């Protein structure tokens, strides 16, 4: 372990013991709050504070281990699950109000395939990606650049979304295919 050479081993051990005690106390508090064990990042931060730090809408929550890059706008009352990647580094990534972006979802605004297979001769492709209001995106789904998902659409778990999904539609699979229309009350 790297440490300040001026700090004695005893002092380091004391500090580590304090840190462990502090984290245990936080873990007990969070376990009562969420009825499960939570990662260290979630012990030290509040999910609404995480979202607010990016300027996301009021009532939006985001796990500490979600990765946000580039230009990302998220509306109100949206939930962003653990391990998500919101990659707006290629431009405009917008997610509406009242969405559920489940664990492990990846959303992109760029694509490096052509650049890679051309050995760098072709540029990186960029396009805005938009997700409407009231959209549910199932766990571990990938939404490619340039896709628009309409309001109240449902994307099933483990789906690859490489084309637009209309309002109220259900889509799942790899690649995602439209299913029967969803019904909402």
Q: Are residues 119 and 159 in the same domain?
A: yes
pTM (predicted TM-score): 0.79
In a domain, 1, yes or no: no
Beta bridge partners of 110: 126
Q: Same structural domain for residues 96 and 168?
A: yes
Strands (E), 96-178: 100-101, 106-108, 110-111, 125-126, 129-131, 136-137, 142-143, 148-149, 154-155, 160-161, 170-172, 177-178
The pLDDT tens digits of the residues spanning 132-144 come to 999 999 999 999 9
| Angle, alpha carbons 108-110-113 (nearest 5°) | 115
What pLDDT, in 10s, does the model give residues 36-52?
A: 777 767 666 778 888 99
Structural domain containing residue 26: 6-44
Check residue 29 and give its pLDDT: 81
- Domain contains 124: yes
Q: Mark whether 20 and 111 lie in a shared domain.
A: no
CATH number at residue 161: 2.160.10.10
Six-digit token pair at 135?
């959209």
- For residue 185, tell me if it sits in a domain: no
Could you tell me which of 110, 115, 123 has the C-alpha nearest to residue 72?
110
- Report yes or no on 184 lying in a domain: no
Q: Quick check: 137 and 153 in contact, CB under 8 A?
A: no
Number of C-alpha atoms within 13 angstroms, CB side, residue 111?
Answer: 15
Q: Are residues 19 and 107 in the same domain?
A: no
Q: What share of the chain is helix, strand, coil (3-state, %, to 5)?
A: 25, 30, 50
Mean pLDDT of 110-114: 94
Higher pLDDT, 92 or 39: 92
* Cα–Cα distance for residue pair 181/143, rounded to 1 Å: 20
Domain total of the chain: 2
- Read off the pLDDT band of 23 (50, 70, 90): confident
Question: Are 38 and 51 within one domain?
Answer: no
Same domain, 21 and 36: yes
Q: Do 95 and 173 reside in the same domain of the chain?
A: yes
Both 38 and 50 in a single domain? Answer: no
Strands (E), 7-140: 61-62, 67-74, 79-80, 85-95, 100-101, 106-108, 110-111, 125-126, 129-131, 136-137
């Amino acid at each position: 372990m790297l440490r300040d050479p001026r700090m004695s081993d005893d002092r380091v051990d004391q500090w580590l013991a304090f840190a462990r005690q502090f984290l245990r106390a936080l873990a007990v508090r969070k376990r009562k709050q969420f009825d499960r064990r939570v990662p260290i990042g979630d012990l030290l931060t509040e999910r609404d504070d995480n979202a607010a730090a990016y300027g996301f809408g009021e009532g939006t929550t985001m796990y500490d281990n979600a990765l946000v890059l580039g230009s990302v706008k998220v509306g109100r009352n949206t939930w962003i699950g653990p391990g998500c990647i919101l990659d707006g580094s290629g431009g405009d990534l917008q997610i509406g109000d009242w969405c559920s972006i489940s664990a492990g979802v990846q959303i992109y605004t760029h694509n490096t395939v052509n650049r890679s297979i051309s050995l760098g001769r072709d540029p990186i492709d960029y396009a805005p990606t938009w997700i409407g209001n009231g959209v549910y995106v199932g766990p571990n789904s990938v939404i490619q650049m340039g896709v628009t998902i309409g309001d109240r659409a449902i994307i099933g778990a483990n789906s690859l979304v490489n084309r637009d999904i209309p309002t109220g539609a259900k889509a799942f699979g790899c690649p995602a295919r439209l299913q029967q229309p969803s019904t909402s009350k």
